[in-house]
Amino acid sequence: MGRPHPAHIPSRRPPSEPASPEAARRRPPVEWSRSEAGPAGTAARAAPGEGAVGAVPAGTCRDGSSRATLPRPTATHAPPGGRPHPAPRGARAARRGNPTRRAAGGPPAVPYPGRRRMLRALLSTLLTAAVVVPLTAVARLPVPAPPPAALAPLTPSTLTSAYAANRANATEAARTAAAHAAPRRAAADRALAAPSRHLLAFDGRGTGRATEVLGDIAHARHIAVLVPGSDTTLDTYARFHRAAAALYTELTHRTGTPVAVIAWLGYETPATVSTTVTTTTRADQAAPRLRAFVRGLHAAAPAGAHVSLLCHSYGSVVCGRAAPGLAADDIALVGSPGTGADRAAALHTHARIWAARGSADWVEHVPHMRTALFGTTVGFGADPVSAAFGARVFDAADAGHSGYFAPGSASLANLARITLGRTPEAARG
C-alpha cells in the first residue's frame, strides 16, 4: 500500500487551537475556572461570552451527553483541547498518601486505613466506658439494711448507749445482708458488731458508713480523726480499721497520756475508676458532715483536747473543703491529689496544714491542675507538697499510696507526732 494522501492525515492540532496567529489574535482571551458540576480539584476551560472554542459546558461531556461527575485525573489535569499541565501540589501529596494534605479545592484526604481503624476502636472504647460503667454501677444493687439507730446528742454520758445501739444495728444489718446473699457485707457487719468495737455511728445501707473509736475519747487529750479516700466502704472497712489501729498502737507507745483515734467513714467515697474521683462533688457533700462531726466531738472530749485530722488521698479533698470553720488544731494531708485550693492560706482555717508524699506514691504523677469541663471543674489545684502551696512538708520516706500507716514507717511516726502536737521530721531533700 502507498502512503496516504496528506489530505487524509488527521491533524495533530487539537480543534480548540487556532489555525493561525491571526485567528489567535481575533479570539477572546480564555479563562480557566473550576467546573461546578465536576469533581473538586478539576478544571474546565471557559471563555467569557458564547462561542468559546473548545469550551465544555458544566455538567456535560464533550460529545454533548450529560454526566453527573467527571473522574478525578490521576496524574495530570488536562484542559479540554489543551496540553496537559502538572497536577497541583496538594493533589500529588494526597496521592502519595499524606493524610494531612489534600488537593486544592477537594475533599480532605482519607487517613491511612490502619489509623482510621485505630480511631474507630478508640471511639468505641470511650463510648463503651461511658455506657457500661454507669450501667455496671446500677447493676450492683445496694445491699439492704435497717435504718441507722436513733441516738442522743453526743456527750461523755451518752457514749456507752451510742456504742450499744450501733452494735445492735450492725448485728441486724449482718443478718439482712446474709439473707440477701451478700456474704462479704454480712462478714463486715458482724465484725463491727463485736462487743470490743466502739461505734459512734453506723449505717449499713448502700456502700455503708461507720465511725469507730479506738481509745477513750471522754478522757483523751489527743485525738486523731482519720478521713479515708476512694474505694473505702463497709466491704473494704477492714483495711481502714488496720490503719487506725496502727496509729493507735504508735501513739500509745509514744506517750502515757490518754489518746484516741477515730476512723471516720462518714461519707460515700468515690470509686477510684470513676468520674466522681476527679471532681470535688463528693467532697463538697462530705464537708458539712465532717465539720458537724468534729464540732460534736468536742462536746464528748475533755475541754482543750488537741484534735488532728489525718486525711488520705481523696480524703484530703474532703478536709480541704471542710477546712473553713473546722474546729481542728492540725490538718495533715498524705498522698493528696490536691485540696481544691491553690494555697494553704486559701483553706481559711486556723489549723496548721501539713503535707507529705512518699517517693513510691503514684499520686505524684497526677496532674495538679483545675479546669472547667462539661459544666464542672475537674482536678484539685496545686500540689500540697509544693513550695507554692505553702504547707509544712514532713517526711514520708518511700511510702506508697497505701503505705502511710504501715507499722514502723517514717510516715506513721510523723503522723503520730502531729497527733501529739509535736513537730514531725521534715522531708529530706
* DSSP output for 73-123: PSSEE--TTS--EEPPHHHHHHHTT-TT---TTSPPPPPPHHHHHHHHHHH
Of 250, 287, 285, 280, the closest CA to residue 376 belongs to 280
Tell me if the pTM is above 0.85. no
pLDDT in tens, 300-326: 999 999 999 999 999 999 999 999 999
Quote the pLDDT of residue 125: 39
- pLDDT at residue 35 greater than cutoff 80: no
Helices of type H across 273-367: 281-300, 314-322
User: Domain containing 268 — which CATH number?
Assistant: 3.40.50.1820
The secondary structure of residue 229, as a DSSP letter, is -
Backbone angles phi, psi at 360, to 5 degrees: -100, 10
Q: Which domain holds residue 385?
A: 206-419
Report the alpha-carbon distance of residue 163 to residue 171 in Å, rounded.
12
Quote the pLDDT of residue 238: 97
124 in a structural domain:
no
254 in a structural domain:
yes
Report the alpha-carbon distance of residue 397 to residue 428 in Å, rounded.
8
Strand ranges, E, within 3-42 = 31-34
18 in a structural domain:
no
259 in a structural domain:
yes
141 in a structural domain:
no
376 in a structural domain:
yes
402 in a structural domain:
yes
188 in a structural domain:
no
- Structurally, the chain folds into a number of domains equal to 1
Quote the pLDDT of residue 377: 75
Strands 43-46 and 31-34 come out as: antiparallel
Distances (CA, A) of 109 to 99, 102, 113, 210: 5, 5, 12, 60
pLDDT in tens, 75-113: 445 555 555 555 555 545 445 554 444 445 555 544 455
